[in-house]
Amino acid sequence: MYIIVGLGNPGSKYADTRHNVGYNSAMCLAKNYNISIDFSKHDAMCGKGVIEANKVIIAMPITYMNLSGVSVSKLMNYYKADRDELIVIYDDISLEPGQLRIRKKGSAGGHNGIKNIIQMLGSDEFTRIKVGVGSKPKGWDLADYVLGHFSKEEEPVMNEAFEQAANACVDIMNNGADYAMNKYNAKASGK
């Protein structure tokens, strides 16, 4: 069973902010495969379904970003999932808006949600899909930037990125992370 986790912060105050691109991508995936995010368990809003023969749990932790690992570890333990069955989607300020980068392991890169997941799982070896939100403008506070909304010009780019992140999840499950890295990472860097 795959555990697909979109990171974000709960509540209407944070809806559609840069920090919630994981939520948006997870909801896009759920919508594409008619999976209802309709139950609350393991400190997350969850949906259960099947995507192209893969059993999945799509989860959106409601612990707030910095404690995402609490929810992820509960999900992993409850469903007895291996780390190679975990896919985490989240925002990345080092990528241009809408760019994707898939990794099989690595540091948190300053992202507190990922830092907490690594801490709670005791490993940095899990697949993640980074969705670019652009770097903060000079003089801005980082928290203000990631908790801010996209401009009207960025919205179509980001909506496409949510679709691509959803497609990348399916590719990872069906064809493996290496395949998905070759497909989406190359695209992101303009190759």
So what's the pLDDT on residue 148?
95
Report, as ranges of residue numbers, the positions in the chain whose pLDDT lies below 50: 189-191
- Number of Cβ atoms within 10 Å of the Cβ of 53: 7
Instruction: Look up residue 149 and give its DSSP letter.
Output: B
109, 164, 144: which is closest to 19 by C-alpha? 144
Instruction: Look up residue 82 and give its DSSP letter.
Output: -
Domains and CATH numbers, the chain: 2-188 (3.40.50.1470)
> Long-range contact list for 151-159, CB < 8 A, 24+ apart?
154/97, 154/98, 157/97, 157/98, 158/21, 158/24, 158/97, 158/98, 158/133
pTM for the model? 0.96
Is 19 among the residues known to form the active site?
A: yes
